[in-house]
Amino acid sequence: MTTKVQTKKSGKMLIVTQIGGTTGKGPKMKETLLGLGLGRIRKTSELQDTPAIRGMLTRVRHLVTVVEK
């Protein structure tokens, strides 16, 4: 029997802007920023507020600014 997990969609959005570069930071940091839709300094991405996104932001918190919308 398969159990369906219901996810609660929150209406919260996050505006994430990259403020630091990835030079010398390692490949995981760069991959995380690409996963967030970033990659260049001053690039902005609007993302839904989910635990997965929050975890990614924690990993690169020194390279981004986050504003809740």
Region 52-59: mean pLDDT is: 97
Residue 47 lies in a domain: yes
Please give the residue that has the higher pLDDT: either 24 or 3. 24
User: In which domain, by residue range, is 35 found?
Assistant: 21-68
Residue 29 lies in a domain: yes
Looking up residue 61, the CATH number of its domain turns out to be: 3.30.1390
Judged against a pLDDT cut of 90, whether residue 2 lies above it is answered with no
Residues 6+ positions from 38 with CB-CB distance below 8 Å: 16, 18, 45, 64
Residue 8 lies in a domain: no
pLDDT digits (tens, 9 = 90+) for 23-46: 999 999 999 999 999 999 999 999
Residue 25 lies in a domain: yes
- The number of folded domains in the chain is 1
Please tell me the pTM assigned to this model: 0.81
pLDDT digits (tens, 9 = 90+) for 9-24: 658 999 999 999 999 9
Judged against a pLDDT cut of 90, whether residue 8 lies above it is answered with no
| C-alpha–C-alpha distance, residues 67 and 39, integer Å | 18
